[in-house]
Structures are given as structure tokens and as C-alpha cells.
Amino acid sequence: MTFRYSRRPILICLAAALSVAAWVGCEKTVDQFDPNLLYALSLEKTRDIPADVAAEHVQSVITELFGTPLEPRWPSDWLDDEQSSILRDVDNLELAIGKISSDQADQHRGLYREHCVICHGVSGSGNGPASLYQNPYPRDFRRGVFKWKSTERRSKPTREDLLDLLKRGIPGTSMPSYRILSSEQRQTLVDYTIYLSVRGETERELMAVAVDELGYEDTPPEDDLNLAMVFESEGGRGTEAADVIADVLDDVVGQWRDASDEVVDVPQVPQDLLQVGAADAKKFQWSDEAVAMGRDVYEGVYANCVGCHGKGGRADVPTLDYDDWTKEYTSRIGISPDDTQALAPVRALGALPPRPVLPRRLSDGVYRGAGTPEAIYRIISQGIAGSPMPAVMISEQGDGTSLSPRQIWALVAYVQSLGQGAAPADTAAASDPGGDKMGPLAWSAGAPHESNAVPSSTADSSVDIPPAG
């Protein structure tokens, strides 16, 4: 389906609305997932081998394994019981993508189509009809990379991570809270998100293996290595190509299965970093000393947070970098992100215009990854997957080439101070010599983060403008 947009804001909004109406309406159906031709082009450029045939055969395999938008399928017969159980209920797939409707028992269908497809697209590619007008762009689930989670940088999120994200939304983006949906409806959307991610990453891995190991070029390899023959010939499940499919599924699904074992442990806060006598189970009340120590870490040579986030977290330092989704179809295949002519072929395959990623302006107090002390600790220790934000080395003492847990906690205190309009005590006193020092900072673990909420036009449950991010 082709969408045409005007440069004028009013017509842009109208075009997006009409596009949504066309997709979610009764007259329009999408009976196939789009193949990931953008990744096929990336393989061609990096391997210098034609990938058209590999992409075609992989698409046929993926359809056999995962079905279509109208008839989604879960490849249970290729998985063991533990792997299959990463979905709470396979029936949720049809609930998520079917026609938008509800029955007298208040059973809602078409939840992904109603709430998500305008931004994330039918295949979870992140280039839905409204994606061009969002900053940051909606997440492309097909790489299997997720930013906001409790697990290690290279790990998948837990199911609880995705449910939490649906409940709170992502502040500072177009991804609203879906707290208004029932718990079961959010479970359905999580199942479908995992399904799209597993489907998309399996497609990518199979394409890479087809080109790198199975001998796909201008023509397919012999029958034993031919992916398409696995489903087209009798005895296809006994071929080497079938073993490759099984191995890829085992790898991709296994990462989701193991996510709960890879949650990052967050150590307890050292008591001397908290205000004396004020610590309790529900609040972190940072001492002035903790904030001052954190500022030293923030501006120090090793962490060098100031190099990107700027003095006082104002993000006023010139930077130019891109996320991994953008780099895959630009710098990693020899295309400059600002070369519009060279970008034309990848744009024609669905790539969105490259946008630099900007460091978070911490002084705003808007945290996309929850904003709790524990979440900030994990982000500092692990970095942010798919982005230029690096992880740090952690050691017990912190020796100039690493940070100790104590230093990370102090850095958490300083980051939170920036977001609460506070400053270390010496800075506050200098700006107001006759005044009292600014008191210790408090954060309530029970209070939801409401900063920079999604505008009412997208947050209102009566408006069909679903999430991004």
C-alpha cells in the first residue's frame, strides 16, 4: 500500500489518519508480511553476494513457520515445550491481529491492529504509516533488540519488562501508556510483540546463514542445503537445511526463554549515601555528599558522562551519532547518512530517513527507561542496547578503568538531582550565598513517572493513535 503525504502539518495529520482508517477498516486486508528486503540489501553490500534468491526462499520458510497476518502461526512442532511457553497463549496471536471487534463478553480482537500497527507496522518493522512523523522513530522489533529492560545489554527483555512498558508508556516519545487496557489485553499485545520479534529475527538469521553457509548466490544450492525444499519435498525435515532452521529457531527462541535468568542484579544502596535517618523501604533520599560524589564521577575521565550529556545534564555538547538500526543501512554498508542520492535505494525498500540520536537531556527529568534508581543503575551499568550509550566496567573498588557499585549509586543520585531541578550543595550555595543549602533529594518508589506525558491527542483512549518507541 502506498501512502502520500504533504509537507504541510495539517495535511500530514489528515494523511496519517486516512492511512489508519484504510488499514483498520473493513475493506482493507494485508494478507502477507513484507519480506525484509532492506536486510537482504545489507547482506549483498557487506558480503558482495546476491541475496535475492536467499531472501525469496527464506520468505517461504518464514511463511510456513509463522503464517500470515490473517492466519498467524507459532512453530510449536519445531520447539520443545519450554521454548513454546515463551508465549502465554498461542491463541493471543489471532486476538491481536484479527479484525477490530468486540463481543458481548467484552472480548476484544484486533488489538495490535487497533493500537500498534500505525506506528510499528504490520510486520513490526517500525515503519508504519505514522512513523515518519515521530521522533524517535517507532521500534523495529525484527532485530530482536530492545532498549528498556531489566536484563543484560545483549539479552532479550523479560515478559514483565514488556508489560511494564505497556503500562507506563515511554516518556519523551510517542509511546503512550496502555494502562487503560485490561491485564489480559496487555498480555495479548506482549505475546504478539514477542511473536513479531521472533519471526523477524529468525528471518534475518536465516538470510545470513543462507548467504554465509548454505551457498546461496544467483541460484539456490543443492537440495540438501535448499531451504525451500524443507517444506516442498518429502523427507525435507531430514535435510541439512532443516537442521539449520532448527538451530536458528533454537537460538532465537532460546534467548527469550533465558531472559529471566539474565536480569541484572542491583546491589543495595550504601547507607552512607542516603540522608541520615530518612531511609525507608519506599524512598531514596540522597545526601548532599552522594550527589557531589556523583557529579565527580559524571565529570570524571572514565565515565565522562559530561562528554555527551553536557554540564548539568543539559545535552548542549555537539554530537553526531546514529543508532544501530540506522547504521545497518548507512555506515555499515558504506553509505553516508546525509547522502540522499545513495540512500534512495534503501529508502525505496522501506528505510526511514536517517536521524542522529541525541543524548538525553537529563536536566529535563524525563527518563524513557522508567526513571527509578534501580532502572538508572542498570542503564549506567549496561548501557542502552542499539544505541551509542556504552556500558561501564564494574569492579569492587573502581580503579580509574572501572566504576564501583558505590560510584554508580552516587552517579544515580547526581542524575536524579539534575532531573529534579536541584544542584549539589556547593553550587546552590554559590548561586544564593545568603540562602540555605538545598536539601537532600527524595524519590518515591511508589509514584508513577508522569514527566513529559504524551499529549492528550495521543494519550486519550478514544483516539486511535497507537504507540511508538
Q: Which of 234, 319, 279 is nearest to 444 (CA)?
A: 279
Query: Of 123 and 466, which is predicted with more confidence?
Result: 123
- How do residues 285-303 score in pLDDT, each as one tens digit? 899 999 999 999 999 999 9
Question: What percentage of the chain reaches a pLDDT higher than 70?
Answer: 82
Residues 6+ apart with CB under 8 A from 175: 138, 165, 169, 454, 467, 468, 469
Q: What's the whole-number mean pLDDT along residues 419-427?
A: 50
Q: How many angstroms separate the Cα of 374 from the Cα of each of 369, 382, 432?
A: 10, 12, 32
Q: Is the preceding peptide bond at 221 cis, omega within 30 degrees of 0?
A: no
Give the separation between CA 86 and CA 198, rounded to whole angstroms.
10
Given this model, what pLDDT does residue 455 score? 32
- Asked if pLDDT for residue 449 goes beyond 50, the answer is no
Retrieve residue 278's grid coordinates: 530518612
Q: b/e string for 358-385 if b means 16 or more Cβ within 10 A? A: ebbbbbbbbbbbbbbbebbbbbbbbbbb
Residues 6+ apart with CB under 8 A from 159: 86, 88, 190, 194, 259, 260
Contact 202, 62 (CB under 8 A): yes
Give me the chain's average pLDDT, please: 84
**Which is the CATH superfamily of the domain at 271-319+358-444?**
Cytochrome c-like domain (1.10.760.10)
| Phi, psi at 275, each rounded to 5° | -60, 135
Residues 6+ apart with CB under 8 A from 306: 298, 299, 317
| Domain ranges across the chain | 9-263, 271-319+358-444
Given this model, what pLDDT does residue 29 score? 63
